[in-house]
Amino acid sequence: MKSFARIVARDVRLAVRQGSAGTMAVGFFIIVTVLFPLGVGPELNILARISAGVLWVAALLSCLLSLDRLFQADFEDGSLDLLVLSAVPLEITVLAKCTAHWLTTAVPLVVTAPVLALLLNMDTDGIPTLMYALLLGTPALSLIGAVGAGLTVGIRRGGVLLSLLVLPLYIPILIFGVGAVDARIHGLGPEPHLMILGAITLFAGVAAPWATAAGLRASLE
* Burial label, 123 (beta-carbon count in 10 A; 0-12, 13-18, 19+): middle
The count of C-alpha atoms lying within 13 angstroms of the C-alpha of 95, restricted to the half-sphere facing its C-beta, is 17
Given the rule CB under 8 A, which of 10-18, 111-119, 130-138, 198-206 is the region that contacts another protein? 10-18
| Residue 84 touching another protein (CB under 8 A) | yes
| Residue 186 touching another protein (CB under 8 A) | no
From 18, 31, 192, 199, residue interacting with another protein (rule: CB under 8 A): 18
Q: Are 69 and 148 in contact (CB under 8 A)?
A: no
Contacts of 45 (CB under 8 A, 6+ apart): 121
Given the rule CB under 8 A, which of 9-17, 38-46, 62-70, 157-165 is the region that contacts another protein? 9-17
Q: Are 157 and 79 in contact (CB under 8 A)?
A: no
| Residue 153 touching another protein (CB under 8 A) | no
| Residue 149 touching another protein (CB under 8 A) | no
| Residue 88 touching another protein (CB under 8 A) | yes
| x/- track of binding to another protein for residues 24-63 (CB under 8 A) | ----------------------------------------
From 22, 26, 53, 79, residue interacting with another protein (rule: CB under 8 A): 79
Long-range contacts from 159-167, C-beta under 8 angstroms, 24+ separation: 159/68, 162/64, 162/67, 162/68, 163/64, 166/64, 166/67, 167/60, 167/64
Interface contacts to another protein, rule CB under 8 A: 2-3, 6-7, 10, 13-14, 17-18, 76-79, 81-82, 84-90, 217, 220-221
